[in-house]
Amino acid sequence: MATRSTSQERQAGLIAAAASLFAAKGFNGTTTKEIAKAAGVSEALVFKHFPTKRALYGAILAEKVTLDELLGAVEESARKRDDRRVFTLIAAFRIKPAVDSTLLRLLLFSALEGHELSDMFFGKHHRVLYDHLATYIKTRIDEGAFRDVDPLLAARAFIGMVVHHRLLHEIFAVPMHQTHDATVRTYVDLFLTGIIRARRSRP
């Protein structure tokens, strides 16, 4: 017989169990009974830790998952004006499903179901990234390195390519026909260079 858990351990366990269930089946599709079973406790205990099912859901969304690590690496490459690396870092981070497959589903579910904390969730996980990238693009435009486009739109365009790819793969089960690295390289290349054969060596 295992010893009793502390309150914190239990809460963490409940959050973990609930997160994967909510991600798989949404808020309405998940019952408190299932959550309790997945966490290995009685249903009543769930309500000892979280007053309502919605509060438990909120606790999951509110859990901090920072982009700090990524943003740090991006910042460094940005200082060196290493465009390719800046975009590659972001693409690789956003495209890799290993980071957390449930997070994307959770994000979509929360937005679709109109949860009140959905905004905050989106802001913490995504908005900062758009803003960061848009700022960098603006800088590069001002420096004359990039063409004069709307920086925010450009940032969205790039992240859109990558996120959409992941969406297709993880949500719609569209098979990838290339490795992650190759895909990232293609997207970064496409975005940075453009698909049209540029008027380069016309005499």
Q: Which residues of this protein are in contact with DNA, per CB under 7 A?
A: 3-7, 10, 30-33, 41-45, 47-48, 51-54
- Considering the complex, what minimum distance in angstroms separates the CB of residue 150 from its own copies? 6
Residues 99-118 that bind its own copies (CB under 8 A): 105, 108-109, 111-113, 118
The DSSP 8-state label assigned to residue 125 in this structure reads I
Residue 12 or residue 192: which is nearer to DNA going by CB? 12
- 62 touches, from its own copies, DNA, none (C-beta below 5 to 8 Å by class): none
Asked whether position 80 contacts its own copies by CB under 8 A, the answer is no
- Considering the complex, what minimum distance in angstroms separates the CB of residue 105 from DNA? 18
- 186 touches, from its own copies, DNA, none (C-beta below 5 to 8 Å by class): its own copies
Task: Indicate the SS3 state at residue 81.
Answer: coil
Give the burial class of 85: count Cβ atoms within 10 A of its Cβ; 0-12 exposed, 13-18 middle, 19 or more buried.
middle
Contact between 90 and 162 under an 8 Å Cβ cutoff? The reply is yes
- 116 touches, from DNA, its own copies, none (C-beta below 5 to 8 Å by class): none
Residue 47 or residue 122: which is nearer to its own copies going by CB? 122
Contact between 32 and 43 under an 8 Å Cβ cutoff? The reply is yes
Q: How many CB atoms lie within 10 A of CB 119?
A: 13
Residue closest to 125 by CA, chosen among 108, 139, 138, 113? 108
Residue 51 or residue 114: which is nearer to DNA going by CB? 51
Residue 41 or residue 155: which is nearer to DNA going by CB? 41
Asked whether position 149 contacts its own copies by CB under 8 A, the answer is yes
Asked whether position 119 contacts its own copies by CB under 8 A, the answer is yes
Which string of b and e fits 48-60 if b means at least 16 CB within 10 Å? ebbeebeebbbbb
